[in-house]
C-alpha cells in the first residue's frame, strides 16, 4: 500500500487502453445541453455511465433537479468518517453543440479518434475527459489503500454549457448536503501543454447587447444620406469610446485599482503559450505595462463578440435603421459585477450616446473569484503534483475564462482549487476538440498522487 503503487495503477489504467475505451463511450453520447432534442441524453449520461461508476466506488448516489436547470444533477457521497476532511468534486457531462459538418476529414464529434498523439471528440476536454481522470484517480487510491482516507462528495451537472442555470439555486437549497471543506475539480486549460497547472478561481463574465433602433426601415442613401443618422456609425463610435485604439479599457469601474502583489508573484514565471496551433499574441494590445500572464489572469478585458447592421449577406444602398453588437466583459476580483452595466450607461451618456440601448440577455453571467495564493492548501497541492510529475506546476490565481466557481466559493463558502487536464490549443467549443494523450496520462498521475496525499493525514488543517 504505497503512493507509488496508486500512481502505477492510475498509469496502467491509461496504458492498458481502458481509459480510451471508457472515454469513447462518453464521447459517443451527444449530450448537447443547448440542443432541446438531446434532453434525454443528459439523463442517460448520468444514469448509464456516471452513477454505475461512482456506485462501484462505494458512493451513495441520487439525482437532484431544479426547475431552472437545463438538465439533472448527479450527487454522490462517500463518508468514511465525519471527523475526516470532506472534498467536493465537480464536473459537467453536457457539451457544446457538436458542429458535426465542420470537423476535419476522418473526425467526428461523437466518435473518439486517436491521431498524432491526440484524442479527438466532443467532450474529451470539456469536460468528460477531465472528470473521468479525477474519478479514476479516486478509484486507484481506493483500490490501493482500501479507503480514501477522507470523505468525498461529487456533483455532476448537465447544463454548464448553457450557463449552469439552476446550479446556484440548487447549491443554496442543498447547502447542507453539499457541505465540504474544499472543492478540488478540473476544467479549463493548463497554462500550456507541457506544464501542470493549478488555478484558484476564475474571471467573471458579463455579456450584454448594445443596440440603436433609429427607425423602422432603411431609406435610400442617395435620397437620405447625410440627413438621417446612421446607427452603425453611431454604435461604432460608442463602442470605440469604451477602449483606446489598442484595447485599454477607459471605464474606470471596469478595471482593478491595482494588480495585487500576490497575483503578480504567482504569475511571474508563467508564459502564455497556445502551442503550435495557437494564435500569436499581439504585443501592443491591452493594458500597458502588464505581461501577457498578468493581462489574462490579473486584469479585465472587453471584447465585441458580434456586430450587425443592415443585411451583410445582401448589402443595399440604404441608411440602415438599426445596429446591434454583442459585447462581453471579463473581470477579476475587485470589480463590482452589479455596477458593470450601470457604469457603462453612465459612460455612454457622458460621451453623448444616449441613443445606445443596453440589453442584458442573461446568457453569460459568472462572478469573479480567487482563493488566496498564499493559502496552505495551495502549496500543499502544488507540492503534491510536483512530486508526482517531476514538474513545477504553474500557479494561476484565476482562470482567464469563466466557470461557475463563484457558486462554490460564495454560496457554499469553499476553498476552490482546480487542476486542469487540457491546454489552450485544445479547440474546446470548436470543431476538432482534442486532448493530447500525454496530458491525460499525466493528469491521472497527478490526481492519484494528490488524492493519496490528502488521505495520508498530511494535508493542512481546515
CATH of the domain at 26: 3.40.630.10
Do 208 and 194 sit in the same domain of this protein?
no
Confidence (pLDDT) at 363: 57
* Full pLDDT tens readout for the chain, 462 residues: 899 999 999 999 999 999 999 999 999 999 999 999 999 999 999 999 999 999 999 999 999 999 999 899 999 999 999 999 999 999 999 999 999 999 999 999 999 999 999 999 999 999 999 999 999 999 999 999 999 999 999 999 999 999 899 999 999 999 999 999 999 999 999 999 999 999 999 999 999 999 999 999 999 999 999 999 999 999 999 999 999 999 999 999 999 999 999 999 999 999 887 777 778 899 899 999 999 999 999 999 999 999 999 999 999 999 999 999 999 999 999 999 999 999 999 999 999 999 999 998 765 578 899 999 999 999 999 999 999 999 999 999 999 988 899 999 999 999 999 999 999 999 999 999 999 999 999 999 999 999 999 999 989 988
| Cross-strand partners of 435 | 119
Confidence (pLDDT) at 19: 98
Do 249 and 384 sit in the same domain of this protein?
no
Give the pLDDT confidence of 392-402 residue by residue, as tens digits.
999 999 999 88
Do 115 and 234 sit in the same domain of this protein?
no
User: SS3 for 442?
Assistant: helix
186 and 407 in contact (C-beta within 8 Å)? no
Omega prior to 7 cis, within 30 of 0: no
H-helix segments, 70-174: 128-145, 167-173
User: SS3 for 139?
Assistant: helix
Residue 275 is assigned to a structural domain of this protein = no
The CATH number covering residue 354 comes to: 3.30.70.360
Do 38 and 85 sit in the same domain of this protein?
yes
**CA distances in angstroms from 450 to 141, 179, 428, 459, listed in the order given:** 10, 21, 26, 10
Residue 269 is assigned to a structural domain of this protein = no
Do 428 and 345 sit in the same domain of this protein?
no
User: Which domain, by its residues, includes 339?
Assistant: 204-261+283-363
Do 89 and 159 sit in the same domain of this protein?
yes
Residue 233 is assigned to a structural domain of this protein = yes
Residue 405 is assigned to a structural domain of this protein = yes
Domain end marker among 363, 383, 400: 363
- The number of distinct structural domains making up the chain is 2
Do 43 and 182 sit in the same domain of this protein?
yes
Do 303 and 399 sit in the same domain of this protein?
no
User: SS3 for 145?
Assistant: helix
Residue 278 is assigned to a structural domain of this protein = no
124 and 433 in contact (C-beta within 8 Å)? yes
162 and 34 in contact (C-beta within 8 Å)? yes
Do 179 and 48 sit in the same domain of this protein?
yes
Do 346 and 403 sit in the same domain of this protein?
no
Residue 460 is assigned to a structural domain of this protein = no
Q: How many C-beta neighbours within 10 Å does residue 300 have?
A: 22
No. of H helices and E strands in the chain? 14, 20
Do 147 and 16 sit in the same domain of this protein?
yes
Residue 274 is assigned to a structural domain of this protein = no
156 and 95 in contact (C-beta within 8 Å)? no
Give the pLDDT confidence of 118-167 residue by residue, as tens digits.
999 999 999 999 999 999 999 999 999 999 999 999 999 999 999 899 99
Domain end marker among 333, 363, 393: 363
462 and 87 in contact (C-beta within 8 Å)? no
Residue 70 is assigned to a structural domain of this protein = yes
Domain end marker among 328, 363, 398: 363
Do 13 and 127 sit in the same domain of this protein?
yes
**Cell of residue 330, nine digits:** 471579463
Amino acid at each position: 500500500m504505497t503512493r507509488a503503487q496508486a500512481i502505477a495503477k492510475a498509469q496502467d489504467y491509461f496504458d492498458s487502453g481502458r481509459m480510451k475505451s471508457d472515454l469513447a463511450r462518453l464521447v459517443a453520447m451527444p449530450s448537447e445541453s443547448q440542443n432541446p432534442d438531446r434532453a434525454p441524453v443528459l439523463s442517460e449520461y448520468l444514469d448509464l455511465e456516471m452513477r454505475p461508476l461512482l456506485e462501484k466506488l462505494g458512493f451513495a448516489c441520487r439525482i437532484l433537479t431544479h426547475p431552472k436547470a437545463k438538465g439533472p444533477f448527479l450527487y454522490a457521497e462517500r463518508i468514511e468518517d465525519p471527523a475526516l476532511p470532506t472534498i467536493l468534486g465537480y464536473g459537467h457531462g453536457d457539451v457544446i453543440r457538436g458542429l458535426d459538418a465542420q470537423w476535419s476529414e476522418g473526425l467526428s464529434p461523437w466518435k473518439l479518434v486517436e491521431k498524432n498523439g491526440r484524442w479527438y471528440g466532443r467532450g474529451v476536454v470539456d469536460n468528460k475527459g477531465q472528470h473521468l481522470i479525477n474519478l479514476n484517480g479516486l478509484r486507484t487510491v481506493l483500490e490501493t489503500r482500501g479507503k480514501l482516507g477522507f470523505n468525498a462528495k461529487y456533483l455532476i451537472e448537465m447544463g454548464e454549457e448553457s450557463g449552469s442555470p439552476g446550479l446556484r439555486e440548487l447549491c443554496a437549497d442543498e447547502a447542507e448536503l453539499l457541505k465540504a471543506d474544499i472543492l478540488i475539480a478540473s476544467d479549463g486549460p493548463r497554462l500550456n501543454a507541457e506544464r501542470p497547472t493549478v488555478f484558484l478561481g476564475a474571471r467573471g463574465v458579463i455579456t450584454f447587447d448594445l443596440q440603436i433602433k433609429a427607425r423602422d426601415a432603411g431609406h435610400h442613401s442617395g435620397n437620405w444620406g447625410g440627413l438621417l443618422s446612421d446607427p452603425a456609425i453611431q454604435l461604432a463610435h460608442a463602442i470605440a469610446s469604451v477602449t483606446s485604439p489598442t484595447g485599454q479599457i477607459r471605464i474606470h469601474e471596469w478595471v482593478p485599482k491595482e494588480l495585487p502583489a500576490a497575483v503578480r508573484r504567482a504569475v511571474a514565471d508563467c508564459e502564455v503559450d497556445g502551442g503550435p496551433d495557437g494564435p500569436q499574441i499581439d504585443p501592443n494590445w491591452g493594458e500597458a505595462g502588464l505581461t501577457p500572464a498578468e493581462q489574462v489572469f490579473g486584469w479585465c478585458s472587453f471584447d465585441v463578440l458580434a456586430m450587425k447592421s443592415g443585411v451583410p449577406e445582401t448589402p443595399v444602398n440604404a441608411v440602415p435603421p438599426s445596429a446591434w453588437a454583442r459585447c462581453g466583459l471579463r473581470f477579476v476580483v475587485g470589480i463590482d459585477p452589479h455596477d458593470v452595466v450601470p457604469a457603462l450607461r453612465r459612460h455612454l451618456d457622458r460621451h453623448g450616446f444616449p441613443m445606445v440601448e443596453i440589453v442584458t440577455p442573461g446568457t453569460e453571467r459568472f462572478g469573479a473569484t480567487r482563493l488566496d495564493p498564499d493559502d496552505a492548501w495551495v502549496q500543499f497541492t502544488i507540492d503534491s503534483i510536483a512530486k508526482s510529475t517531476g514538474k513545477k506546476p504553474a500557479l494561476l490565481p484565476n482562470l482567464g475564462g469563466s466557470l461557475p466557481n463563484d457558486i462554490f466559493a460564495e454560496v457554499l463558502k469553499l476553498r476552490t482549487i482546480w487542476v486542469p487536464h487540457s491546454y489552450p490549443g485544445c479547440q474546446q467549443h470548436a470543431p476538432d476538440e482534442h486532448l493530447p494523450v500525454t496530458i491525460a496520462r499525466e493528469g491521472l498521475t497527478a490526481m492519484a498522487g494528490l488524492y493519496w496525499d490528502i488521505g495520508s493525514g498530511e494535508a493542512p488543517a481546515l
